[in-house]
Structure 1
Amino acid sequence: MKLIGSLTSPYVRKVRIVLAEKKLDCVFELENVWVPETTIQLANPLGKVPCLMMEDGSAMIDSRVIAEYLDTLTPVCKLLPANGNSRERADIKCWEALADGVLDAGVLVRLERTLRAPEQQSAAWIERQMSKVHLGLAALSQRLGESAYCAGIHYTLADVAVGCALGWLSFRFPEIDWRGAHPNLAKLYDKLAERPSFKDTVPQ
């Protein structure tokens, strides 16, 4: 398998962490989708990363799809419960959707600020997206409570997703004091940051 992505994308980081936790071999190919010479459309017509190229030449897209697929390849470090426990599985996927939603809003703010001239930027649009970031963080914090991990006492894909969201916010939006506002999320992230899979994928 070959993973196409960047070193700064939190969605790519999620897949890289899953690959590491599952101890799966995969070639990592760097791709900058924002430069004119990018060839990402040859693999993913949507022009996004991550994109996982399979052994048969087919492509798998979207970090949520890829992560769920990778978890089926080996019993090592199961990140999602078996299909029989549909409620628990859906709960973990909701954690992932919420974490990714925070990222989606943050990415839109970053694109607005970096791709548009200052006079063309919409303050109302930025405020709307930042509201989603802050409300999403509050929801994640409330859901976590005093639990050791997102889904209780076990490390799951929910923790991977939340950890990637928090790490990216620290990287791209250091002015957001999510640690001060949500100390339980800070405690969770500090614990996750000690895992080799997180240490080896810090955005840079």
Structure 2
Amino acid sequence: MKLVGMLDSPYVRRVAISLELYGLDFEHEALSVFRDYPAFSAINPVVKAPTLVLDDGTVLMDSSLILDYLEALAPVDKKLLPQAPAERARDLHVLGLALAACEKSVQIVYEHELRPAEKLHAPWLDRVTGQLLAAYSQLDKHLADSEAVTQASLTAAVAWSFSQFTVASVVNAHAFPNLKRHAERLEQHPAFKRYPIE
């Protein structure tokens, strides 16, 4: 399998770390959707990161869809989502908060880096920032006692590290001590160290 995309994307990074935890062999091709558009387009004309090319040439995109496929492949002892419905719902709740944090962080980055300064829309930025902080406030409560490495816990850590890497001025780390501690612990895990934010 080949994973295409840059590790500065939280979506690409969560898939890379998950592949490592699943014990699946893969090649990582670090192509940017901006700088390497023609090369990325040759692999996936939609140019969406992450893209996963399966051994038979099937192209999957969207991190959640890719991870759904990988979870189905994983043996029981390597699955990253609980199988029991109630436990799975709890993890999916946390996962939804983490993905919302990723999305809102990316929106803030794009607003500042891609939109001309004179066209920044303050009410939109305020709204997105409020959504981001709300997601982290909820995650901080849910991750107070989290120790296991699951899809929810790893995505929360990836989201937090991405926000600190890109929008730290918006997200005060000291306001979310449980989440900060959780992410710092997981960033020491070998799978996280192997695929750091670039």
**What is the TM-score normalised by the length of structure 1?**
0.89
Could you tell me whether the CA contact under 8 Å between 2:105 and 2:132 is conserved in 1? yes
Could you tell me whether the CA contact under 8 Å between 1:32 and 1:38 is conserved in 2? no
Deviations 1:15-72 (A, max 9, x none): 0100111121101112111137434345445431001101111111111121232233
Deviations 1:128-182 (A, max 9, x none): 11111111100111223x3133xxxx32111111011001011101224442101
SS of the residue 2:38 aligns to: coil
Could you tell me whether the CA contact under 8 Å between 1:95 and 1:161 is conserved in 2? no
Moved more, 86-95 or 53-62: 86-95
- Mapping of residues 1-204 of structure 1, within 5 Å: 1-35=1-35, 37-75=37-75, 76-82=77-83, 85-144=84-143, 146-149=144-147, 154-204=148-198
Report runs of 4+ in structure 1 exceeding 6 Å deviation. Answer: none
User: Where does structure 1 lack aligned partners over 5 or more consecutive residues?
Assistant: none
Moved more, 112-121 or 28-37: 28-37
SS of the residue 2:184 aligns to: helix
Distance 2:117 2:61 in 1: 33
Which amino acid letter does the alignment assign opposite residue 187 of structure 1? R
Shift of the 155–37 alpha-carbon distance from structure 1 to 2, 3 Å rule, reads closer
Could you tell me whether the CA contact under 8 Å between 2:163 and 2:171 is conserved in 1? no
Structure with greater helix share of residues: 2
User: Where does structure 2 lack aligned partners over 5 or more consecutive residues?
Assistant: none
Count of aligned positions? 197
Shift of the 39–94 alpha-carbon distance from structure 1 to 2, 3 Å rule, reads farther
Shift of the 35–155 alpha-carbon distance from structure 1 to 2, 3 Å rule, reads closer
Which amino acid letter does the alignment assign opposite residue 146 of structure 2? A
Distance 2:142 2:36 in 1: 42
Seq. identity, %: 31
Which amino acid letter does the alignment assign opposite residue 78 of structure 2? C
SS of the residue 2:102 aligns to: helix
SS of the residue 2:29 aligns to: strand
Shift of the 143–37 alpha-carbon distance from structure 1 to 2, 3 Å rule, reads closer
Distance 2:14 2:51 in 1: 12
Task: Kindly state the Cα deviation for residue 197 of structure 1 after the two structures are TM-superposed.
Answer: 0.8
Shift of the 119–60 alpha-carbon distance from structure 1 to 2, 3 Å rule, reads same
CA RMSD of aligned residues (A): 1.8
